[in-house]
A and B are shown apart, each in its own frame.
Chain A
């Protein structure tokens, strides 16, 4: 029996030795994710389906544009349907400097005014979805400065091998701002995209899971076509379905202005 235990320990040690040595560390994974080609600009249709715990569903049709200006990212989303939210629009300027807050604006058609939104709203839920403003802003990227991260192992999602990346907010204030005490992401290390993210709330309880599906290449750029998020506390679900994705075409600079928010598409 003693020999049997020794063999197991040796086997585990043999397996773990190269494993620990080969896995990239958390920061390297984060850098690789953020270095992935996202296209300088993109336009796409986005259907948002929100379903509450009783099965009541709400559907929004939107059109979104994103463009990089050097390291500064500008994103705008226009709501096309249904009637009660049509013409609402959201614009954000995301700056590369860690100490510079993003600038965000929201156009509400009932007020016919563009309103400035404080960047610390980023942990708030985005217009009735299970995504926060920060989730929407980051898209497929991850925040370098908000978290300390480490690689905790390997796993598999939808049949794809991935590295498990654990991220913890750098301090309590950031955690409170983001609404997460911990994030665990399953990162596909062949295309450097996050296939699944799990978030824990401030009390350390499971909060939500984001699942990226239908990842395929568009104009040679790996692109997620479906994002599903389940809120474990409320039973609410949100599904984002992307279509008509086009990179580096028809994304006019004037879309990323307050005037464009008012005029709509």
Chain B
């Protein structure tokens, strides 16, 4: 039985029980953005997206929520097809209507209660974790890296077909996830504007060596290859605490390398392959006077890092990874929010064989203030990696002209070593102008 049939049966059953629709609402949001590369003055992207949403409420309290996204890109710069679509399952893959236009089902789920159990069934986004700007436990859904991490996570997160069951027992809220959708991170092609070049993310071939990249080997069994997750949430003595567990295919493929000779010349063949990992996590937050303390920890049992030696172990190093965030938000005088985060990742085993450091540290700082009754917002987000000395500075100012019209002016300025995760895009600095209209 395919996943499509399973969901069709479930949806049909729930639809039957839902009986009569009593409430209907719809909306549409149009967003246009123009991004200009500050180095050469060329247009990096000129895009338009339309997101219609339809919600139906039924007599028995159930709701059907759905949204689509039609996105069009101008011919130059970022392209719709910049990402490798092989990472999507057939059920979640956006439809390319032309080279410039893409249509994607963003959400389609039924939501309601059976007794004391809350069900959300269908294509949806699940967000775990407490961090801002970077992710540790917000990994249930994969992400599109077409614009690296510059697009809003709500836009870049890839919704998955998921059974989401929530139930409360005493002071605990329990969540169970079953995700039979084998969709993973959508990574940029080598020709894309935001193609990965950092040796921490992709293998680097020696000069003169030809590299062939094969199609990814994807898990494809709906049941055996599905992801499962569990989260327990409680509120204890002022602390918001969660315990998380996820058994998933890591959303990043393992890039195994094989060296061969073709016509006497060395050729490296890279075979992307997805591997499973257990993820054990916890999150917490609490408020103390002007301060909010928050954090999250994730322990990944099987993470695959790029190896220094492409001939050893097919160029990959398997090790557990400890990844965590500690954050501090300060409500400073004059209604200014200042938020700092320390994000660290440890390669637990054989770090010296990988292309990255054993301990990787990133610091983020955000300063934000709202003006004019929350209609004008000014902020600057800085993400700095201390290992490579690279990072990104993101100032933004946005203004709501009306409830339904918002404009913004922003910049994304990369700096630092080109070997670094942020520094690799040093040539991609840009200024962004955008407008959003909703009805």
Contacts and interface: CB of A to CB of B under 8 A. Distances in A.
Indicate whether A and B interact: yes
Interface of A: 50, 52, 56, 58-59, 82-86, 101, 103-105, 110-113, 115-121, 124-125, 127-129, 234, 236, 254, 257-259, 263
Interface centre among B238, B287, B375 (most CB of A within 10 A): B287
A84 B111 contact: no
A120 B290 contact: yes
Nearest to B329: A118
Contacts of B152: 110
Contact of B403 (A84, A115, A236, A263): A84
Interface string B87-125: 000000000000000000000000100000010000001
Interface string B378-403: 00000000000000000000001011
Contacts of A82: 403-404, 438
Contacts of B84: none
Given A85-B403, A125-B373, 20 more contacts: A59-B403, A83-B403, A83-B439, A101-B287, A101-B288, A110-B154, A112-B154, A113-B129, A116-B286, A117-B287, A118-B290, A118-B331, A120-B290, A120-B331, A121-B331, A125-B374, A254-B168, A257-B173, A258-B235, A259-B118
Contacts of B286: 116
A100 B132 CA distance: 28
B373 A236 contact: yes
A124 B336 CA distance: 10
A56 B401 CA distance: 9
Which 10 pairs show the lowest CB-CB distances between chains A and B? A128-B374, A83-B438, A112-B127, A118-B287, A116-B285, A128-B373, A82-B403, A120-B290, A83-B27, A116-B292
17 contacts: A52-B373, A58-B402, A59-B403, A84-B406, A84-B438, A85-B403, A101-B289, A110-B152, A112-B154, A113-B130, A116-B285, A117-B287, A118-B287, A120-B331, A127-B374, A257-B173, A263-B111
Interface string B152-171: 11100000000000101000
B294 interface: yes
B373 A50 contact: yes
A17 to B, nearest CB: 47
A120 B359 CA distance: 36
B335 A124 contact: yes
Interface centre among B129, B153, B233, B292 (most CB of A within 10 A): B292
B166 A259 contact: yes
Interface in B138-162: 152-154
Nearest to A109: B154
A86 B403 CA distance: 11
Nearest to B173: A259
B42 interface: no
Contacts of B404: 82-84
A85 B400 CA distance: 12
A177 to B, nearest CB: 9
Nearest to B129: A113
A105 B292 CA distance: 11
A111 B335 CA distance: 21
Contact of B29 (A58, A83, A116): A83
A116 B335 contact: no
A118 B154 contact: no
A112 B402 CA distance: 23
Contacts of A119: 287, 289
Interface of B: 27, 29, 111, 118, 125, 127, 129-130, 152-154, 166, 168, 173, 233, 235, 238, 240, 285-292, 294, 329, 331, 335, 372-375, 400, 402-404, 406, 438-439
Contact of A112 (B27, B125, B372): B125
Nearest to B438: A83
B403 A258 contact: no
A182 B305 CA distance: 61
Nearest to A103: B238
Contacts of A128: 373-375
Nearest to A105: B240
B338 to A, nearest CB: 12
B403 A58 contact: yes
Nearest to B53: A83
Contacts of B240: 105, 116, 258
Contacts of A101: 287-289
Contact of A118 (B130, B173, B289, B403): B289
A117 B403 contact: no
B243 to A, nearest CB: 15
Given A84-B403, A84-B406, A118 B373 contact: no
B372 to A, nearest CB: 8
A116 B373 CA distance: 21
B112 to A, nearest CB: 10
B288 A118 contact: yes
A9 B267 CA distance: 110
Contacts of A125: 373-374
B29 A120 contact: no
Contacts of A105: 240
A112 to B, nearest CB: 4
A251 to B, nearest CB: 16
A63 B329 CA distance: 29
Contacts of B373: 50, 52, 125, 128-129, 234, 236
A118 B111 contact: no
Contacts of B118: 259, 263
Contacts of B288: 101, 118
A52 B153 CA distance: 32
A258 to B, nearest CB: 7
A84 B290 contact: no
A118 B293 CA distance: 10
Contacts of B287: 101, 103-104, 116-119
Contact of B154 (A85, A111, A116, A236): A111
Contacts of B335: 124
B291 A118 contact: yes
B324 to A, nearest CB: 17
Nearest to B285: A116
B55 to A, nearest CB: 10
A11 B98 CA distance: 92
Interface centre among A50, A101, A113, A124 (most CB of B within 10 A): A113
A139 to B, nearest CB: 21
